[in-house]
């Protein structure tokens, strides 16, 4: 998680790519317990986080996706950065559901 910690401790602005700074805790009903928010989309309460016990996986939490709120979008922050730089936006990651991590059970 070195890259994630470096990002969180820096003033790097990734808002042009759709990863905005904001509160480190999601106050939405669907934000998982143990979530550490790393950024916000800026619309509809969408935020991105890691979840305690789920390793380095980055998740998108979308409060307006009724019944379908939480999705893994990258296996680590490093992978997320690579995807952001090649896709130019977080929007493309939220709309794609291709990434499916190996999990020990439901979220």
Locate the DSSP E strands across 1-93: 35-40, 47-51, 58-61, 70-74
Looking at residue 87, what is its pLDDT?
Answer: 81
Looking at residue 12, what is its pLDDT?
Answer: 92
Looking at residue 1, what is its pLDDT?
Answer: 66
Residues of the chain short of pLDDT 50, as ranges, are 95-98
Q: And the tokens for 3?
A: 């890259």
Looking at residue 85, what is its pLDDT?
Answer: 85
User: CA-to-CA distance for 52 and 58, rounded, in angstroms?
Assistant: 11
């Amino acid at each position: 998680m070195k890259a994630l910690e470096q990002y969180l401790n820096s003033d790097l602005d990734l808002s042009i790519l759709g990863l905005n700074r904001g509160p480190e805790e999601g106050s939405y009903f669907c934000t998982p317990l143990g979530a550490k928010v790393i950024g916000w989309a800026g619309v509809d309460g969408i935020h991105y986080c890691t979840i305690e016990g789920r390793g380095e996986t980055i998740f998108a939490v979308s409060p307006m996706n009724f019944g379908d709120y939480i999705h893994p979008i990258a296996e680590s922050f490093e992978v997320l950065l690579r995807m952001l730089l090649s896709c130019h936006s977080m929007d493309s990651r939220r709309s794609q559901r291709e990434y499916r991590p190996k999990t020990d059970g439901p979220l």
